[in-house]
Structure 1
Amino acid sequence: MPEIHLVGVAALLTLSVIVLLAGRGRNLTLVVYGCALVISLVLCGGATMRLLMQSPPSSLALPIGLPWLGAHFRIDALSSFFLAIINFGGAAASLYGLGYGRHEREPLRVLPFFPAFLAGMNVVLMADDAFTFLLSWEFMSLASWSLVMAHHREADNIRAGLVNIVMAGIGAFALLLAFGVLAGPDGFYAFADMRTHAPAPLAAAAVLALVLFGAGSKAGLVPLHVWLPLAHPAAPSHVSALMSGVMTKVAVYAFIRVAFDLLGPPAWWWGVPVLILGAATAVIGVLFALVHTDLKRILAYSTIENIGIIFVALGLSLGFLASGFAAAAALAMTAALFHVLNHSLFKSLLFFGAGAVITATGSREIGQLGGLLNRMPATGLFMLVGCAAISALPPLNGFASEWLAFQAILLSPSLPSWALKLLTPAAGAMLALAAALAGACFVRLFGIAFLGRPRTITSAKAVEVDRFSLTAMGGLACLCLLAGIFPGQVIDALAPVARATTGAAMHPQAAMPWLSIAPIAESRSSYDGLLVFVFIVSSALLAAFIVHRLASNALRRAPAWDCGFPDADPITQYSAESFAQPVRRVFSSFAFRARAQVDMPPPGDLRPASYTVEWVDLSWAVFYRPVVAAVAKMAYWMNRMQYLTIRQYLSLVFAALVFLLLVLASWA
């Protein structure tokens, strides 16, 4: 099985090289995305079949890489699941790119790196030794950076690329140290050797901290998230979907691989930092999504929120596993994996929809949109499905996975550790807050962008996008609905992964009556997505029948109510800023220090009034800005040292010599 995937990776890399050598071509976009679509579908199908058939792990060693080690590759249940997600996301992005790519101004800055990016993510998931893992991890990071810099003439994109590559380097260095500690003095770089040589408790704590830093920086955990809302909006929309819906899952895989596989049996406290970081990430991510007005930046911050939800479930799984509750650990792990799948579906859908809106209107500011549902009905419908799914509304898939996470949280009173017993309900409350704010966030996004009246001429003249883009969005919207209606089948498909990571799995759900799911026991809690779907559809049809058949046919026209002033100007509508103002005022003091500035001219002054809002990411202000200032100051003084005179250089050498002599004298 690894042979097939390596052939697919080789095909993707060959495609990249061919594009680089071919230069310009009339049908280059069609060839690249078409080939990437076929290769990704083949790899996704192979990984999915392997997962459903519960095939045993298979390995392959190649005589490349380190001379004494070679390159080891292995596919097991965990990597099969993530390979299926990565390649399905790549196939969806390739299908979308067949239409969206035609609008790219400089296609040669995207086409060579797109298949290379897919290849890098595939190799990370198959790597079975530290060297191959880190090499492919860096290759993936460099390919994604190249795609972020595709529109390099924009100043914001240059800054996004710089922050992206710096954070990628720091995260990779943390992973390098983590694998160094795992390898030990004997140099056990192969994962198989690491599994048989569990580190000491202190070393295991260091590895956990390092992998949280390294994988968390790539996933977007707070406070390591600062690059993500800059880089994801800078890339082309189908690449943003890959980075947000897919690449962040590679980071989740890295954490699971180390924490649940290579580190050995967990200690009870391992779940504490994961829970805290996950809960804080979920709330902070959705708060920033709620106050921003850039369409793609809203989606990027929403990714941070969903990564927090995943890590909360992973922290719960670690705590339950260390306490001997294997069934509860399997439930929490299944919730995390289910949300990994769901987020890849609805976030890719939403980024595709954002790309369609940008193509049709040329704007990413939701305050400059409005009324798009009448002009882009298919895109509006698919975006509505994505917004409802990410808001965890039944019967869509986002509700099913978050409901499973809350079911795991309700088992926390059985934990023996008081730290986890008290921390888990607090994390559950923060997840509930994040879910409520996510609903408000996407009501705001969809309402401002698609409902009401057009705020600009470009919004009024928008037209529907191409069929390739609509097909990609429609397929993802259908999968969001199917995964929410039939969650039991998805849970059963995830059983081999849960069993491989926690040693247990949820009891089979497909045999439950009416396709319902009962994660713990039917008498305790159950959910039936199909019945909820039937109830919603039947209620909507009944309401439509009553309105259209039994209501009066008389038509009455009246001006829109606007506080007594029938003004048809679109500026009288709710704005994105006014919608978020109550939440901004409540959370501004500790979340983002929002400051509103009003410039109201006195009577007689004809200049217009202005209202501006500024907010600061506290993670950037507290952690990164001092480091940047220190580096800049150091660079300034180092630069000054290049222009010293000969006498000054001799004086420095003499002072250094005296200092070293004093050190030697005191040492003696």
Structure 2
Amino acid sequence: MVLSVLLRAMAAMALTGVAVIPVCRRHGTGPWVYGTVLAACSIAFAAALGHLLAGAAPLTLTLPLGIPWLGAHFRLDALSAFFVMVVNLGGAAASLYAIGYGRHESEPHRILPFYPGFLAAMNLVVLADDAFVFLFAWELMSLSSWALVMAHHRAEGTARAGYIYLVMAGFGTLCLLLAFGLLAGSEGAYTFDAMRAGALPVSLQTLVLVLVLLGAGSKAGIVPLHVWLPLAHPAAPSHVSALMSGVMTKVAVYGLIRIVFTLAGPPAWWWAVIVLIIGGATAVLGVLYALMQNDLKRLLAYSTVENIGIIYIGLGLALAFQANGLAVGAALALTSALYHVLNHSLFKSLLFFGAGAVLSATGERNMEHLGGLIHPMPVSAATFLVGCAAISALPPLNGFVSEWLTFQAILISPDLPQWGLKFLVPAVGAALALSAALAAACFVRAFGITFLGRPRTPRAVAAAEIDRSSRGAMVVLAVLCILAGVLPGLVVDALSGVVRELTQGSSLPAQSGLPWLSLIPLSEARSSYNGLILLVFLTFTSTLIALSVRRLASHEVRRAPAWDCGFPDASPTTQYSAGSFAQPIRRVFGHVAFRAVERVEMPEPGSLQPARLHVHLRDLIWDTIFAPIQKVVAFTTEHLNGLQFLTIRSYLALVFGVLILLLSGLALWP
């Protein structure tokens, strides 16, 4: 039974984490742990893929665990099978990468016990079929990932990152707990089957939506709940960062889909307005924040925010179409969102692996201290380039397909009857186009400053290629990014079972039988895409141009001084920098988004003092939302601190007063 196989694989991961505790301080233990997790993830991925492609009926299993009268319920349907695939594909890639990368860890005992448990908890969230198991696994996922974030606890900023992450995780769990309480109703129906059978008033359904957006959205990283993401991702080890960004945020997306699309009841059209506004704002602000970063891992963390926004745009469109009975539009929008879930897990894991390779080779994350790494690290550079092109939505790679499908869903939005949606959806489409263009600029900057040009520091000069297993994981993900872009019809057909399950029977037409492996989401007269032909065309034309230039160009050599941009000094510091690349975009958007302030210190003529440019950016979301909350909490706790110094008489008087107050409230309750 497939579900039993998955639960056994999950149990093997959890037991691996427990068994390694006595010996995890020894170096050399890591490859065994990561190898075991790699095998378990591979088995779970194959089992989930087989179940999804077979179109099998949902499987359920109840174990006598947890709450005595409730038990632990598990379910494997098309939706959970897809997300089990995403979790374990990312887990297998991260484990293969960590076999080599983990050898550089100075304190492996802070990672090895929690890493298998983290993957087991994410699998458990996806397979849970009642509120208790879901919330237990969700909290276990949060705590184990917090422990991994704190692995390098002595590094500057790690303690703050872990604290903010823990606070946001607790807030998210509380919101999900309240949402499940509303879904359970007065009878306490905590199983998902009972919640599906229940019927909530529209007002309570909307409240459930808001709570889920807060609870799952805080874990996914939507604006303005994203503040933990750019702190936690850089602090964690790179293979853990890849899991948190590429996989854990998708588990949060799963939580939103599971509750909103299958448990909360039929959606109202204004739900789409909320989700679309959040998705559009998250996509644009995420990529703008990413463009301002010089820290490579912090840039990738903010880019995760942008891609979560793109997924939310697809889900918002699906809610709009589904609420209006437009099954074809809902199927197209859901397909685009789920496709981007898979795509982001692939190319974001690849990019974090590349950032880890750079960090391992140079000890640097600041792009201003890198450069020229394409020569000593050709494999890492080539695979990182594939990831950059994929996340920039350049054809024929996978990122283009999912964003193109999202635009196709936007183009049929005039069929929606509500005028609010008729105006909102094109505006969100413009935001999506803007975010795609800015993402391309962001990753041209990331790749160019990191890998091209001349080395800017001695550490970049001394860089060398990383180990074979880490390179192998990067190559595998790069190949999958290409295949998912060149053969999109196969992916769409694999997703059709999930889409039918969420839309009660609708999906896109079958794509596997189309000539030349084309992708035609609605009709050939409206739009079509063929990644295979595009790949052949690009390969042929680029090869032809290269051969023509080589044959027709002059073979004479002319020697002359290289243009030095007006600088007689050939220092690498005269190269284009990350800050100078972002300056035009910062000057366009910086005042509105960051209250950017530039101050130039220009010395007097004849002075030997250097000219300096100071740039100050503010995080307006932190300043306007979280900083005031932090001040209120600090003020309250400071004044409540005196309660611990009361005498026994004061304590008794305080308890008596509170009891009288509660009884008075109960007596006056209507």
- Give me the TM-score of the superposition, normalised by structure 1: 0.96
Match of 1:362 in 2: 363
| Conserved 8 A contact 1:198-1:262 | no
The match for 2:576 is 574
Q: Per-residue deviation at 1:21?
A: 2.3
For 1:204 and 1:448, the matched residues in 2 are separated by 48
Q: CA deviation at 1:155?
A: 2.9
> 1:44 maps to what in 2?
45
Q: How does 1:85-100 map to 2 (within 5 A)?
A: 85-100=86-101
**What amino acid is the match of 2:595?**
R
Partner of 1:539: 541
Q: Quick one: distance in 1 between partners of 2:328 and 2:664?
A: 64
Deviation at 1:74, TM superposition (A): 0.3
**Contact in 1 for aligned 2:24/2:108 (Cα 8 Å):** no
Q: Which amino acid aligns with 2:380?
A: T
Output one character per residue of 1:224-279: Cα deviation in whole Å (capped at 9) or x when no partner. 00001110111000000000000000000000001110012111111110000000
Structure 1's unaligned 5+ residue stretches are none
Q: Which amino acid aligns with 1:60?
A: L
Report what 1:563 is aligned to. 565
- Find the aligned partners of 1:323 and 1:291 in 2 and give their Cα distance: 40
> How has the CA–CA distance of structure 1 residues 656 and 395 changed in structure 2, closer, same or farther, with 3 Å as cutoff?
closer
Q: Report the alpha carbon displacement of residue 362 of structure 1 after superposing the two structures with TM.
A: 0.6
d(CA) in 2 for partners of 1:656, 1:299:
50
Match of 2:198 in 1: 197
Distance change (3 Å), C-alpha of 1:629 and 1:49: same
Q: Which residue of 1 aligns with 2:257?
A: 256
Query: What SS does the aligned partner of 1:372 have?
Result: coil
Name which of structure 1's ranges 370-379 and 654-663 shifts more when overlaid on structure 2.
654-663
Q: Where do 5+ consecutive residues of structure 2 fail to align?
A: none
* CA distance 1:416–1:116, change in 2 (3 Å): same
Q: CA deviation at 1:564?
A: 3.8
Counterpart residue type for residue 34 of structure 1: G
Please show how residues 104-503 of structure 1 align to structure 2 within 5 Å: 104-503=105-504
Q: Is the 8 A contact 2:24 2:112 kept in 1?
A: no
Partner deviation per Cα, 1:84-107 (whole Å, 9 max, x = no partner): 010010000000001100101111
Residue aligned with 1:596, SS: strand
For residue 138 of structure 2, what is the amino acid of its counterpart?
A: W
Deviation at 1:658, TM superposition (A): 12
Deviation at 1:404, TM superposition (A): 0.2
C-alpha displacement at 1:511, in angstroms?
Answer: 1.5
Structure 1 residue 637: Cα displacement: 1.6
Counterpart of 2:517, as a letter, is: L
For residues 325-356 of structure 1, the C-alpha deviation after alignment (integer angstroms, 9 at most, x for no partner) is: 00110000000000000000000000000000
The offset of 1:552, in angstroms, is 1.2
TM-score by length of 2: 0.96
Equivalent pair of 1:129/1:191 in contact (CA under 8 Å)? yes
1:596 positional shift: 2.1
Alignment root-mean-square deviation, CA: 2.4
Residues paired across the two proteins, number: 668
Question: What is the rounded CA distance, in whole Å, between the counterparts of 1:396 and 1:390 in structure 2?
Answer: 9
Q: Is the 8 Å Cα contact of residues 560 and 568 (structure 1) preserved in structure 2?
A: no
Q: How far apart in 1 are the matches of 2:339 and 2:586?
A: 31
Q: Structure 1 11/665 Cα, relative in aligned 2: closer, same or farther at 3 Å?
A: closer
Asked if 1 retains the 8 angstrom alpha-carbon contact of 2:487 and 2:531, the reply is yes
Is the Cα–Cα contact under 8 Å of residues 62 and 71 in structure 1 kept in the other structure?
yes
Aligned mates of 2:523, 2:648 — CA distance in 1: 82
Secondary structure of residue in 1 paired with 2:72: strand
- Offset at residue 421 of structure 1 (A): 1.3
Q: Are 1:548 and 2:550 counterparts?
A: yes
Q: Counterpart of 2:635 in 1: which secondary structure? A: helix
Deviation digits for residues 627-648 of structure 1 (CA, Å, limit 9, x no counterpart): 0001111122223555689999
Does the CA contact (< 8 Å) of 1:215 and 1:255 recur in 2?
A: yes
Alignment of 1:488-637 (within 5 A): 488-503=489-504, 504-602=506-604, 606-637=608-639
Residue identity matched to 1:177: L
Conservation of the 8 A alpha-carbon contact between 2:591 and 2:597: no
For 1:535, the aligned partner's letter is F
Report the secondary structure of 2:66's partner residue: strand
Aligned mates of 2:246, 2:368 — CA distance in 1: 25
Residues 665 and 56 from structure 1, CA distance in 2 versus in 1: closer, same or farther, beyond 3 angstroms? closer
For 1:662 and 1:210, how far apart are their aligned partners in 2?
A: 31
- Post-superposition shift, 1:655? 11
Query: 1-side partners of 2:556 and 2:585: how far apart?
Result: 41
Query: Per-residue deviation at 1:557?
Result: 3.2
CA distance in 2, matches of 1:62, 1:651: 48
In 1, distance between residues paired with 2:180 and 2:600? 53
